Amino acid sequence: MYEKKIEEELDCGIRVAFKIFGGKWKLCIIDAINRGIARPVDIHKSIPNATLRVIEIQLAELLFFGVVDKCSEEIYPKKSEYKLTAIGESLLPLLNQIDTWGAKHSEFVKERQSELIDSE
């Protein structure tokens, strides 16, 4: 894992939380796993905008911080299954609130966004 050059603030709950799930696709990955999508390829299929590589990297980080658990069967076609730990599950209410809030404001954000683009 990459070594930071700027000291991290871990005395602030917000910053700790972002360290755990602030990655571009982490909450989407957690959401997918929660919906029963367990294997990397399938997670990738459910989030086509994310590359498989970034899913692997972020899964490894989630694993490192105990948000997900991995059970690898070392048989054909190398079958790894990820599931949420207790920590991961404790994130679900948050995840749902964030998703709901975002969905509620998505039209407004898109509008604002297109104004930016139009004004060029």
Tokens of residue 92, six digits: 């679900």
Cβ atoms of 68 and 111 within 8 Å: the answer is no
Indicate which of a copy of itself, DNA, none lies near residue 10 (CB less than 5 to 8 Å, by partner kind): a copy of itself
Among candidate residues 102, 34, 42, 35, the one with its CA nearest the CA of residue 62: 34
Which of 15, 78, 105, 112 forms a contact with DNA (CB under 7 A)? 78
Residues binding a copy of itself (CB under 8 A): 1, 8-20, 22, 24, 27-28, 31, 49, 64-66, 87, 90-91, 93-95, 97-106, 108-110, 112-113, 116
DSSP assignment of 10-63 equals -SSHHHHHHHHH-STTHHHHHHHHHTT--SHHHHHHHSTTS-HHHHHHHHHHHH
Tokens of residue 19, six digits: 């360290």
Indicate which of a copy of itself, DNA, none lies near residue 65 (CB less than 5 to 8 Å, by partner kind): a copy of itself
Complex with a copy of itself: residue 12 or 71, whichever CB lies closer: 12
Q: What is the contact surface with DNA in residues (CB under 7 A)?
A: 2-6, 22-25, 39-41, 49-54, 56-60, 70, 72, 74-80
